[in-house]
Amino acid sequence: MRALTDEQIAAMRDPKLAATTNLPRIEDAVEAGGFLTGTPTDIIELLKAVEKRYPGLDRVVCSMALGTGSPWHWNSWTGSRRK
């Protein structure tokens, strides 16, 4: 589910346009379905709604959004933690 239009994506490539383009706030992206947020029960309800909307769907990929999380990150290449 896309949170940005083609025009918004293009405007983000140009710093002069990005400052004046109506880009969505995080709340807008959540409302558009760009992020799953809430309690575990909320997430289950959202995924059930996706399942109902796309009956043949058999896989959903979830990942942490870039720029979120703690300052300590797991390094999957070395199996160690780094700051």
Residues 6+ apart with CB under 8 A from 8: 21, 22, 23, 24
pLDDT for residue 14 = 87
Which of these ranges, 2-11, 16-25, 63-72, has the smallest mean pLDDT? 63-72
Nearest to 2, CA basis, from 44, 27, 35, 26: 35
pTM of the model: 0.47
Which of these ranges, 16-30, 43-57, 60-74, has the smallest mean pLDDT? 60-74
What are the distances in angstroms from CA 73 to CA 17, 36, 37, 82? Answer: 33, 21, 21, 6
Q: Is 17 exposed, middle or buried (0-12, 13-18, 19+ CB in 10 A)?
A: middle
